Amino acid sequence: MNDIKLAVLGSEGVGKSALIVRFLTRRFIGEYASLTECIYRKRLTLDGRQLNVELYDPCSQVCAGKSALSDQIHWGDGFLVIYDISDRSSFQAAKNILHLMRETHPGASKRDGEAAAGRPVVLVGNKQDLCHMREVDHEEGQRLAADHRCGFLELSAAEHSQEVALVFSKVVQSVCAGSKAKERRRRPSGSKSMAKLINNVFGKRRKSV
Ligand SMILES: Nc1nc2c(ncn2[C@@H]2O[C@H](COP(=O)(O)OP(=O)(O)OP(=O)(O)O)[C@@H](O)[C@H]2O)c(=O)[nH]1
């Protein structure tokens, strides 16, 4: 898989655009146009592989509601679910998104970091620089992530350029690893299928002798 779709989800004003722009440009720009949804594209080289990454930044005012969210969940190969550590209601919204992912893909959440049917999810507590106004404890974030078997970290789009780059790269890496594993499960290995063939031909013959 060389085309990877990442959806950055979360309620209004949690910093989705700020995180994406930070990842794409390494810059923090204070204000972002928020009346349109956007798909950004970036070419990445990871472990010598050229990847085309699409990043979906929904507009919370326009794309609110369960059905829009379901579409976004179906669209993505991997997800960052964002809340603002200084805004409890945004944490509740992140919780709802994770629940919906579980509902959309019952039977998911079995493997670590894969809350949405084998598609990696990381829960991100943004605006860590506002920890003096914190409304959501670090442990609460950790617990929610553990409940949904997804990754978790707190960071600040405003201050942490490297951490932002790292979290996006990790999700991309997990998507690649997941798709390779799926490929392996789909296609039996050469030696196994050859063994099956030999068994089919000679095994039957041996029985009739
Ligand atoms: N202090 C602080 N402010 C931040 C941080 N990240 C984003 N912001 C601010 O939070 C506000 C909302 O950021 P956006 O990136 O527009 O949030 P969004 O989630 O894309 O919002 P919608 O497009 O409305 O859904 C802006 O004023 C940003 O400057 C951060 O890490 N720290």
The CA distance from 59 to 7, in Å, is 12
**Closest C-alpha to ligand 1, atom 23:** 34
In the prediction, which pLDDT does 199 show?
59
Give 149-206 pLDDT, tens digit per residue.
Answer: 999 999 999 999 999 999 999 999 999 988 776 666 666 555 555 555 455 555 555 5
pLDDT of 138 above 80: yes
The predicted complex's ipTM stands at 0.99
In the prediction, which pLDDT does 146 show?
97
Cα 17 to ligand 1 centre (Å): 7
The CA distance from 127 to 93, in Å, is 16
pLDDT of 147 above 90: yes
* Helix 88-104 and helix 66-75, axial crossing angle in degrees, nearest 10: 60
More confident: 58 or 19: 19
What is the pTM assigned to this prediction? 0.84
- How do 49-57 and 38-46 pair as beta strands? antiparallel
Give 20-71 pLDDT, tens digit per residue.
Answer: 999 999 999 887 766 677 899 999 998 888 999 999 998 776 556 777 888 8
In the chain, which ranges are continuous DSSP H helix?
A: 16-25, 66-75, 88-104, 138-147, 161-186, 190-198, 204-208
In the prediction, which pLDDT does 187 show?
61
> Residue 133: how many CA atoms within 13 Å on its side-chain side?
10
The CA distance from 126 to 85, in Å, is 6
In the prediction, which pLDDT does 27 show?
93
Mutate to test the pocket of ligand 1, among 8, 32, 80 (most ligand atoms within 8 A of CB): 32
Q: Is any ligand 1 atom within 6 A of the Cβ of residue 126?
A: yes
Q: Is any ligand 1 atom within 6 A of the Cβ of residue 93?
A: no
Number of neighbouring beta carbons within 10 Å of residue 185: 8
- Ligand 1 atom with the shortest distance to the CA of 32: 16
Q: Is any ligand 1 atom within 6 A of the Cβ of residue 34?
A: yes
Q: Is any ligand 1 atom within 6 A of the Cβ of residue 11?
A: no
Number of neighbouring beta carbons within 10 Å of residue 151: 20
pLDDT of 112 above 60: no
